[in-house]
Structure 1
Amino acid sequence: MNDRGLVVVLEDERAIAEMERLYLQQAGFGVHVAADGQAGLNDIRRLSPVAVIVDIGLPGLDGTEVVRRLRADGDWVPVVFVTAHDSEIDRVLGLELGADDYVTKPFSPRELVARVKALVRRSSGPAAGSVRRAGRIELDEGERRVRVGGAEVALTTTEFDLLAHLLSRPGQVFTREQLLSAVWGIADYSGTRTVDVHVAQLRAKLGDPDPIRTVRGVGYALEAAG
Protein backbone atom coordinates (compact mmCIF):
# COMPACT_ATOMS: atom_id res chain seq x y z
CA MET A 1 0.00 0.00 0.00
CA ASN A 2 1.46 3.36 -1.08
CA ASP A 3 0.35 5.37 1.93
CA ARG A 4 3.49 7.46 2.40
CA GLY A 5 3.18 9.43 -0.84
CA LEU A 6 5.01 9.43 -4.16
CA VAL A 7 8.78 9.54 -4.57
CA VAL A 8 10.27 10.46 -7.95
CA VAL A 9 13.55 8.69 -8.70
CA LEU A 10 15.83 10.17 -11.36
CA GLU A 11 18.33 7.41 -12.18
CA ASP A 12 19.65 6.21 -15.54
CA GLU A 13 21.17 2.94 -14.27
CA ARG A 14 18.30 0.48 -14.57
CA ALA A 15 19.51 -1.92 -11.87
CA ILE A 16 19.93 0.87 -9.31
CA ALA A 17 16.58 2.42 -10.21
CA GLU A 18 14.81 -0.91 -9.77
CA MET A 19 16.53 -1.53 -6.44
CA GLU A 20 15.42 1.90 -5.21
CA ARG A 21 11.89 1.26 -6.49
CA LEU A 22 11.70 -2.10 -4.69
CA TYR A 23 12.89 -0.83 -1.32
CA LEU A 24 10.80 2.35 -1.45
CA GLN A 25 7.67 0.39 -2.36
CA GLN A 26 8.33 -2.04 0.49
CA ALA A 27 8.48 1.00 2.80
CA GLY A 28 5.04 2.15 1.60
CA PHE A 29 5.97 4.76 -1.00
CA GLY A 30 4.66 5.07 -4.51
CA VAL A 31 7.55 5.35 -6.97
CA HIS A 32 7.93 7.00 -10.36
CA VAL A 33 11.23 6.51 -12.20
CA ALA A 34 12.72 8.71 -14.92
CA ALA A 35 16.06 8.07 -16.62
CA ASP A 36 16.52 11.49 -18.21
CA GLY A 37 17.03 14.80 -16.45
CA GLN A 38 14.63 16.93 -18.47
CA ALA A 39 11.90 14.28 -18.40
CA GLY A 40 12.43 13.88 -14.67
CA LEU A 41 12.15 17.62 -14.08
CA ASN A 42 8.89 17.69 -16.01
CA ASP A 43 7.62 14.71 -13.98
CA ILE A 44 8.46 16.40 -10.67
CA ARG A 45 6.60 19.53 -11.70
CA ARG A 46 3.61 17.45 -12.85
CA LEU A 47 3.40 14.92 -10.02
CA SER A 48 4.29 17.03 -6.93
CA PRO A 49 6.05 14.18 -5.08
CA VAL A 50 6.79 14.09 -1.35
CA ALA A 51 10.51 13.57 -2.08
CA VAL A 52 12.95 13.24 -4.96
CA ILE A 53 16.04 11.05 -5.33
CA VAL A 54 18.34 12.49 -7.99
CA ASP A 55 21.41 10.90 -9.54
CA ILE A 56 23.85 13.69 -10.36
CA GLY A 57 25.19 12.04 -13.52
CA LEU A 58 21.99 12.04 -15.57
CA PRO A 59 21.96 12.25 -19.38
CA GLY A 60 20.65 15.41 -20.98
CA LEU A 61 20.06 17.60 -17.97
CA ASP A 62 22.31 16.60 -15.07
CA GLY A 63 21.01 16.23 -11.53
CA THR A 64 22.50 19.47 -10.23
CA GLU A 65 20.76 21.47 -12.95
CA VAL A 66 17.46 19.69 -12.25
CA VAL A 67 17.61 20.79 -8.61
CA ARG A 68 18.84 24.26 -9.51
CA ARG A 69 15.77 24.77 -11.72
CA LEU A 70 13.41 23.36 -9.09
CA ARG A 71 14.70 25.75 -6.46
CA ALA A 72 14.57 28.66 -8.92
CA ASP A 73 10.88 27.80 -9.42
CA GLY A 74 10.33 27.98 -5.67
CA ASP A 75 9.84 24.21 -5.39
CA TRP A 76 11.39 23.04 -2.09
CA VAL A 77 10.49 19.37 -2.28
CA PRO A 78 13.02 17.34 -0.21
CA VAL A 79 15.89 16.17 -2.42
CA VAL A 80 18.49 13.46 -1.87
CA PHE A 81 21.44 13.50 -4.27
CA VAL A 82 22.99 10.19 -5.32
CA THR A 83 26.38 10.17 -7.03
CA ALA A 84 29.39 8.03 -7.75
CA HIS A 85 31.71 10.83 -6.62
CA ASP A 86 32.62 11.17 -2.96
CA SER A 87 34.79 14.27 -3.01
CA GLU A 88 34.11 17.17 -0.66
CA ILE A 89 33.72 19.48 -3.65
CA ASP A 90 30.82 17.41 -4.98
CA ARG A 91 29.19 17.19 -1.57
CA VAL A 92 29.43 20.91 -0.91
CA LEU A 93 28.15 21.75 -4.39
CA GLY A 94 25.14 19.52 -3.92
CA LEU A 95 24.20 21.06 -0.60
CA GLU A 96 24.74 24.59 -1.87
CA LEU A 97 22.33 23.91 -4.72
CA GLY A 98 19.60 23.13 -2.21
CA ALA A 99 19.81 19.38 -1.67
CA ASP A 100 18.72 18.10 1.74
CA ASP A 101 20.91 15.01 1.86
CA TYR A 102 23.62 13.25 -0.09
CA VAL A 103 24.63 9.59 -0.54
CA THR A 104 27.39 8.05 -2.64
CA LYS A 105 27.43 4.84 -4.64
CA PRO A 106 27.59 2.10 -3.54
CA PHE A 107 25.03 2.77 -0.84
CA SER A 108 22.77 0.76 1.40
CA PRO A 109 19.21 0.87 0.00
CA ARG A 110 17.88 0.57 3.55
CA GLU A 111 19.87 3.64 4.56
CA LEU A 112 18.58 5.57 1.56
CA VAL A 113 14.99 4.69 2.43
CA ALA A 114 15.56 5.66 6.07
CA ARG A 115 16.86 9.06 4.97
CA VAL A 116 13.90 9.60 2.64
CA LYS A 117 11.45 8.64 5.39
CA ALA A 118 13.13 11.06 7.80
CA LEU A 119 13.02 13.89 5.25
CA VAL A 120 9.36 13.30 4.44
CA ARG A 121 8.44 13.12 8.11
CA ARG A 122 10.29 16.34 8.85
CA SER A 123 8.98 18.22 5.81
CA SER A 124 5.35 17.38 6.58
CA GLY A 125 5.75 18.72 10.09
CA PRO A 126 3.10 18.70 12.83
CA ALA A 127 -0.51 19.64 12.11
CA ALA A 128 -0.09 22.52 14.51
CA GLY A 129 2.95 23.92 16.22
CA SER A 130 4.37 26.78 18.16
CA VAL A 131 5.85 29.95 16.76
CA ARG A 132 9.40 30.62 17.93
CA ARG A 133 11.08 34.00 17.80
CA ALA A 134 14.59 35.31 18.30
CA GLY A 135 15.38 38.87 17.28
CA ARG A 136 14.36 39.35 13.63
CA ILE A 137 13.62 35.63 13.15
CA GLU A 138 10.16 34.07 13.42
CA LEU A 139 9.75 30.33 12.84
CA ASP A 140 6.31 28.74 12.57
CA GLU A 141 6.63 25.01 13.23
CA GLY A 142 3.10 24.14 12.14
CA GLU A 143 3.26 25.92 8.78
CA ARG A 144 7.02 25.33 8.43
CA ARG A 145 7.55 28.95 7.47
CA VAL A 146 10.34 31.32 8.42
CA ARG A 147 10.22 35.10 8.36
CA VAL A 148 13.13 37.43 8.90
CA GLY A 149 12.20 41.01 9.64
CA GLY A 150 8.69 40.21 8.47
CA ALA A 151 9.78 38.87 5.05
CA GLU A 152 9.35 35.19 4.31
CA VAL A 153 12.53 33.23 3.58
CA ALA A 154 12.49 29.97 1.60
CA LEU A 155 14.46 27.19 3.28
CA THR A 156 15.07 23.57 2.41
CA THR A 157 13.69 20.94 4.79
CA THR A 158 17.11 20.46 6.34
CA GLU A 159 17.81 24.19 6.65
CA PHE A 160 14.47 24.63 8.40
CA ASP A 161 15.16 21.82 10.86
CA LEU A 162 18.66 23.11 11.55
CA LEU A 163 17.31 26.58 12.31
CA ALA A 164 14.52 25.12 14.45
CA HIS A 165 17.01 23.15 16.52
CA LEU A 166 19.26 26.16 17.05
CA LEU A 167 16.20 28.25 17.89
CA SER A 168 14.97 25.69 20.43
CA ARG A 169 17.63 26.98 22.85
CA PRO A 170 18.83 30.46 21.84
CA GLY A 171 22.33 31.13 23.08
CA GLN A 172 23.19 27.47 23.69
CA VAL A 173 26.20 26.14 21.82
CA PHE A 174 25.49 22.92 19.91
CA THR A 175 28.42 20.82 18.74
CA ARG A 176 28.51 19.68 15.14
CA GLU A 177 28.03 16.11 16.36
CA GLN A 178 24.91 17.11 18.31
CA LEU A 179 23.48 18.85 15.24
CA LEU A 180 24.21 15.87 12.99
CA SER A 181 22.41 13.58 15.42
CA ALA A 182 19.42 15.86 16.03
CA VAL A 183 18.82 17.19 12.51
CA TRP A 184 20.13 14.50 10.19
CA GLY A 185 19.71 11.50 12.49
CA ILE A 186 23.27 10.48 11.70
CA ALA A 187 25.45 8.76 14.28
CA ASP A 188 28.52 8.62 12.01
CA TYR A 189 30.23 11.89 12.78
CA SER A 190 32.82 11.75 10.01
CA GLY A 191 30.72 14.12 7.89
CA THR A 192 30.59 17.17 10.13
CA ARG A 193 31.54 19.32 7.12
CA THR A 194 27.90 18.85 6.07
CA VAL A 195 26.85 20.91 9.10
CA ASP A 196 29.25 23.72 8.19
CA VAL A 197 27.90 23.94 4.64
CA HIS A 198 24.28 24.06 5.79
CA VAL A 199 25.08 26.70 8.38
CA ALA A 200 26.77 28.79 5.68
CA GLN A 201 23.70 28.47 3.45
CA LEU A 202 21.41 29.35 6.35
CA ARG A 203 23.48 32.44 7.16
CA ALA A 204 23.29 33.60 3.56
CA LYS A 205 19.49 33.36 3.63
CA LEU A 206 19.00 34.94 7.05
CA GLY A 207 21.12 37.96 6.09
CA ASP A 208 22.86 40.56 8.23
CA PRO A 209 23.35 40.95 11.08
CA ASP A 210 24.46 37.31 11.25
CA PRO A 211 22.37 35.63 13.98
CA ILE A 212 24.50 32.46 14.16
CA ARG A 213 27.62 32.50 16.32
CA THR A 214 30.51 30.18 15.56
CA VAL A 215 32.37 28.76 18.55
CA ARG A 216 35.69 27.74 17.05
CA GLY A 217 36.45 24.07 17.47
CA VAL A 218 33.06 23.38 19.03
CA GLY A 219 29.97 24.30 17.03
CA TYR A 220 27.24 26.92 16.66
CA ALA A 221 24.71 28.92 18.62
CA LEU A 222 21.82 31.14 17.61
CA GLU A 223 22.03 34.55 19.23
CA ALA A 224 18.84 35.44 21.08
CA ALA A 225 19.10 39.02 19.86
CA GLY A 226 19.35 37.78 16.25
Structure 2
Amino acid sequence: MSKTTILLAEDEPALGQIIKESLETRDFNVLLCENGNIAMDVYHKESPQILVLDVMMPKKDGFTLAKEIRAIDDAIPIIFLTAKSQTKDVVEGFNIGGNDYLKKPFSMEELIVRINNLLNRTQIQKSSEILKIGNYSFDFPKQILHFDGIEQQLTHRESHLLFHLVQNKNKVLDRSLILNKLWGIDDFFTARSMDVFITKLRKKLKKDDSIQIINVRGFGYKLVF
Protein backbone atom coordinates (compact mmCIF):
# COMPACT_ATOMS: atom_id res chain seq x y z
CA MET A 1 0.00 0.00 0.00
CA SER A 2 1.42 3.42 -0.97
CA LYS A 3 2.03 6.00 1.72
CA THR A 4 -0.31 8.92 2.24
CA THR A 5 1.36 12.13 1.07
CA ILE A 6 1.03 15.20 3.29
CA LEU A 7 1.91 18.66 2.05
CA LEU A 8 3.27 20.54 5.09
CA ALA A 9 3.75 24.31 4.72
CA GLU A 10 5.66 25.71 7.70
CA ASP A 11 8.12 28.62 7.63
CA GLU A 12 9.83 27.83 10.94
CA PRO A 13 12.62 25.43 9.84
CA ALA A 14 13.08 23.70 13.20
CA LEU A 15 9.37 23.16 13.80
CA GLY A 16 8.82 22.08 10.21
CA GLN A 17 11.55 19.47 10.47
CA ILE A 18 10.22 18.14 13.78
CA ILE A 19 6.72 17.76 12.32
CA LYS A 20 8.07 16.17 9.15
CA GLU A 21 10.20 13.61 10.99
CA SER A 22 7.42 12.79 13.46
CA LEU A 23 4.92 12.17 10.67
CA GLU A 24 7.42 10.10 8.72
CA THR A 25 7.82 7.79 11.72
CA ARG A 26 4.06 7.13 11.31
CA ASP A 27 4.64 6.07 7.71
CA PHE A 28 3.46 9.28 6.03
CA ASN A 29 5.27 10.81 3.06
CA VAL A 30 5.81 14.48 3.98
CA LEU A 31 6.53 17.30 1.52
CA LEU A 32 7.88 20.20 3.62
CA CYS A 33 7.58 23.68 2.08
CA GLU A 34 8.91 26.89 3.62
CA ASN A 35 6.33 29.29 2.18
CA GLY A 36 2.99 29.41 0.39
CA ASN A 37 4.38 29.94 -3.10
CA ILE A 38 6.52 26.82 -2.92
CA ALA A 39 3.62 24.90 -1.40
CA MET A 40 1.36 25.83 -4.32
CA ASP A 41 3.92 24.55 -6.82
CA VAL A 42 4.36 21.32 -4.88
CA TYR A 43 0.57 20.87 -4.64
CA HIS A 44 0.29 20.95 -8.44
CA LYS A 45 3.26 18.67 -9.03
CA GLU A 46 2.76 16.04 -6.32
CA SER A 47 -1.04 15.74 -5.76
CA PRO A 48 -0.94 15.27 -1.94
CA GLN A 49 -3.83 13.66 -0.06
CA ILE A 50 -3.98 16.21 2.77
CA LEU A 51 -2.65 19.72 3.51
CA VAL A 52 -1.22 20.94 6.81
CA LEU A 53 -0.74 24.71 6.46
CA ASP A 54 0.78 27.26 8.80
CA VAL A 55 -1.31 30.43 8.66
CA MET A 56 1.47 32.99 9.16
CA MET A 57 3.92 32.44 6.27
CA PRO A 58 5.98 34.78 4.08
CA LYS A 59 5.19 35.40 0.40
CA LYS A 60 1.80 33.67 0.63
CA ASP A 61 0.01 33.00 3.92
CA GLY A 62 -1.90 29.83 4.71
CA PHE A 63 -5.36 31.36 4.31
CA THR A 64 -4.52 32.74 0.85
CA LEU A 65 -3.02 29.41 -0.19
CA ALA A 66 -6.10 27.53 1.02
CA LYS A 67 -8.43 29.87 -0.88
CA GLU A 68 -6.53 29.28 -4.11
CA ILE A 69 -6.53 25.51 -3.65
CA ARG A 70 -10.20 25.40 -2.64
CA ALA A 71 -11.05 27.18 -5.91
CA ILE A 72 -9.81 24.12 -7.83
CA ASP A 73 -10.14 21.32 -5.27
CA ASP A 74 -13.13 21.15 -2.96
CA ALA A 75 -12.30 17.74 -1.48
CA ILE A 76 -8.74 17.71 -0.15
CA PRO A 77 -8.65 17.97 3.68
CA ILE A 78 -6.97 21.09 5.08
CA ILE A 79 -5.61 21.55 8.60
CA PHE A 80 -4.44 25.02 9.68
CA LEU A 81 -1.58 25.47 12.18
CA THR A 82 -1.45 28.85 13.86
CA ALA A 83 -0.57 30.88 16.93
CA LYS A 84 -3.55 33.13 16.15
CA SER A 85 -6.40 32.36 18.54
CA GLN A 86 -8.94 35.14 18.11
CA THR A 87 -12.44 33.96 17.27
CA LYS A 88 -12.53 35.84 13.98
CA ASP A 89 -9.34 34.13 12.81
CA VAL A 90 -10.67 30.67 13.65
CA VAL A 91 -14.00 31.36 11.96
CA GLU A 92 -12.24 32.75 8.89
CA GLY A 93 -10.19 29.56 8.62
CA PHE A 94 -13.29 27.38 8.57
CA ASN A 95 -15.18 29.69 6.22
CA ILE A 96 -12.30 29.52 3.74
CA GLY A 97 -12.77 25.76 3.62
CA GLY A 98 -10.45 24.45 6.31
CA ASN A 99 -11.45 21.16 7.91
CA ASP A 100 -9.54 21.60 11.16
CA TYR A 101 -7.63 24.27 13.09
CA LEU A 102 -4.80 23.46 15.50
CA LYS A 103 -3.38 26.18 17.75
CA LYS A 104 0.33 26.36 18.55
CA PRO A 105 1.86 24.96 20.66
CA PHE A 106 0.38 21.52 20.03
CA SER A 107 1.41 17.93 20.64
CA MET A 108 2.41 15.74 17.72
CA GLU A 109 0.01 13.07 18.95
CA GLU A 110 -2.87 15.53 18.62
CA LEU A 111 -1.85 16.49 15.09
CA ILE A 112 -1.55 12.85 14.07
CA VAL A 113 -4.98 12.02 15.52
CA ARG A 114 -6.54 14.91 13.61
CA ILE A 115 -4.82 13.92 10.36
CA ASN A 116 -6.02 10.34 10.71
CA ASN A 117 -9.51 11.52 11.62
CA LEU A 118 -9.77 13.50 8.39
CA LEU A 119 -8.24 10.75 6.26
CA ASN A 120 -10.48 8.07 7.74
CA ARG A 121 -13.67 10.11 7.69
CA THR A 122 -16.39 8.48 5.68
CA GLN A 123 -16.59 10.11 2.26
CA ILE A 124 -19.99 10.97 0.87
CA GLN A 125 -20.79 8.96 -2.23
CA LYS A 126 -21.37 11.48 -5.00
CA SER A 127 -24.12 10.04 -7.12
CA SER A 128 -25.45 11.67 -10.27
CA GLU A 129 -28.92 11.80 -8.74
CA ILE A 130 -30.60 15.22 -8.65
CA LEU A 131 -32.16 15.75 -5.24
CA LYS A 132 -35.54 17.47 -4.95
CA ILE A 133 -36.01 20.05 -2.20
CA GLY A 134 -39.52 21.44 -2.53
CA ASN A 135 -39.50 23.32 -5.85
CA TYR A 136 -35.69 23.32 -5.94
CA SER A 137 -33.43 20.78 -7.62
CA PHE A 138 -30.10 20.16 -5.93
CA ASP A 139 -27.20 18.87 -8.05
CA PHE A 140 -24.86 17.78 -5.27
CA PRO A 141 -21.86 16.72 -7.40
CA LYS A 142 -21.87 20.09 -9.19
CA GLN A 143 -22.87 22.00 -6.02
CA ILE A 144 -25.70 23.83 -7.78
CA LEU A 145 -29.25 24.71 -6.67
CA HIS A 146 -31.80 25.08 -9.48
CA PHE A 147 -35.04 27.03 -9.15
CA ASP A 148 -37.27 28.02 -12.05
CA GLY A 149 -34.39 28.12 -14.51
CA ILE A 150 -32.10 30.04 -12.17
CA GLU A 151 -28.89 28.48 -10.84
CA GLN A 152 -27.19 29.24 -7.54
CA GLN A 153 -23.64 27.98 -7.04
CA LEU A 154 -23.01 26.63 -3.55
CA THR A 155 -19.70 26.42 -1.74
CA HIS A 156 -18.12 23.11 -0.74
CA ARG A 157 -19.32 23.46 2.86
CA GLU A 158 -22.82 24.64 1.92
CA SER A 159 -23.25 21.68 -0.44
CA HIS A 160 -22.20 19.06 2.07
CA LEU A 161 -24.27 20.57 4.86
CA LEU A 162 -27.35 20.74 2.61
CA PHE A 163 -26.77 17.15 1.45
CA HIS A 164 -26.87 15.92 5.05
CA LEU A 165 -29.97 17.97 5.80
CA VAL A 166 -31.73 16.46 2.76
CA GLN A 167 -30.65 12.93 3.70
CA ASN A 168 -32.23 13.52 7.11
CA LYS A 169 -35.37 15.29 5.84
CA ASN A 170 -37.92 15.89 8.62
CA LYS A 171 -35.46 14.51 11.20
CA VAL A 172 -33.16 16.41 13.53
CA LEU A 173 -29.62 16.52 12.18
CA ASP A 174 -27.47 16.13 15.29
CA ARG A 175 -25.34 19.25 15.69
CA SER A 176 -22.34 17.50 17.25
CA LEU A 177 -22.38 14.72 14.69
CA ILE A 178 -22.36 17.03 11.66
CA LEU A 179 -19.73 19.34 13.17
CA ASN A 180 -17.39 16.40 13.67
CA LYS A 181 -18.18 15.01 10.22
CA LEU A 182 -17.75 18.21 8.20
CA TRP A 183 -15.49 20.34 10.41
CA GLY A 184 -13.60 17.59 12.22
CA ILE A 185 -14.28 19.09 15.65
CA ASP A 186 -17.21 20.23 17.78
CA ASP A 187 -16.43 23.42 19.68
CA PHE A 188 -17.67 26.98 20.07
CA PHE A 189 -15.88 28.29 16.98
CA THR A 190 -17.07 25.57 14.60
CA ALA A 191 -20.61 25.84 15.97
CA ARG A 192 -20.62 29.56 15.14
CA SER A 193 -19.30 28.79 11.68
CA MET A 194 -22.06 26.23 11.13
CA ASP A 195 -24.70 28.79 12.18
CA VAL A 196 -23.37 31.13 9.47
CA PHE A 197 -23.73 28.42 6.82
CA ILE A 198 -27.27 27.57 7.97
CA THR A 199 -28.20 31.25 7.55
CA LYS A 200 -26.73 31.24 4.03
CA LEU A 201 -28.70 28.12 3.08
CA ARG A 202 -31.95 29.62 4.39
CA LYS A 203 -31.43 32.65 2.14
CA LYS A 204 -30.72 30.47 -0.89
CA LEU A 205 -33.86 28.39 -0.28
CA LYS A 206 -36.19 31.32 0.49
CA LYS A 207 -37.94 31.28 -2.92
CA ASP A 208 -40.01 28.30 -1.76
CA ASP A 209 -42.05 29.18 1.34
CA SER A 210 -42.70 25.51 2.13
CA ILE A 211 -39.01 24.93 2.93
CA GLN A 212 -37.77 25.55 6.46
CA ILE A 213 -34.52 24.84 8.27
CA ILE A 214 -35.61 24.69 11.89
CA ASN A 215 -33.26 25.24 14.80
CA VAL A 216 -33.99 22.54 17.39
CA ARG A 217 -32.32 24.18 20.37
CA GLY A 218 -29.77 22.00 22.10
CA PHE A 219 -29.95 19.28 19.45
CA GLY A 220 -29.37 20.52 15.92
CA TYR A 221 -31.28 21.45 12.75
CA LYS A 222 -34.17 19.95 10.83
CA LEU A 223 -34.98 20.49 7.14
CA VAL A 224 -38.73 20.46 6.54
CA PHE A 225 -40.54 20.68 3.19
TM-score by length of 1: 0.76
Provide, for residues 143-183 of structure 1, a one-character-per-residue CA deviation record: whole Å limited to 9, x for no partner. Answer: x6644229695654x66654444333212223433433454
2:10, 2:57 within 8 Å by CA — same for their partners in 1?
A: yes
Farther-moved stretch of structure 1 (198-207 vs 80-89): 198-207
CA contact (8 A) 1:2 1:25 kept: no
Change (3 A) 1:202 1:82: farther
Aligned partner of 1:99 in structure 2 is 98
Q: Is the 8 A contact 2:121 2:181 kept in 1?
A: no
Choose 1 or 2 for highest CA Rg: 2
1:133 paired to 2:131: yes
The answer as to 2:188 corresponding to 1:192 is: yes
RMSD: 3.3
Q: Distance in 2 between matches of 1:221 and 1:132?
A: 22
Cα distance, 1:100 vs structure 2: 1.5
- Contact 2:6–2:31, Cα closer than 8 Å, also in 1: yes
| Equivalent pair of 1:134/1:223 in contact (CA under 8 Å) | no
What SS does the corresponding residue of 1:82 show, helix, strand or coil? strand
The change in CA–CA distance for 1:19 and 1:179 in structure 2 (over 3 A counts) is: same
* Aligned counterpart, 1:221: 221
Q: CA deviation at 1:80?
A: 0.8
Deviation at 1:32, TM superposition (A): 0.2
Which stretch shows the higher mean deviation, 109-118 or 131-140?
131-140
Cα distance between partner residues in 2 of 1:9 and 1:212: 41
Structure 1: which 5+ residue stretches go unaligned?
Answer: none
Deviation at 1:81, TM superposition (A): 0.8
* Percentage of identical aligned residues: 23
Q: Which amino acid aligns with 1:121?
A: N
Report the 3-state secondary structure (helix = DSSP H, G, I; strand = E; otherwise coil) of the residue aligned with 2:27: coil
Q: How many residues align?
A: 215
- Which whole-Å CA distance do the structure 2 matches of 1:28 and 1:212 have between them? 47
Does the 8 Å contact 1:95/1:198 carry over to 2?
A: no
**Offset at residue 109 of structure 1 (A):** 1.7
Q: Which runs of 5+ in 2 are unaligned?
A: none
CA distance in 2, matches of 1:212, 1:41: 41
- Structure 2 counterpart of 1:87: 86
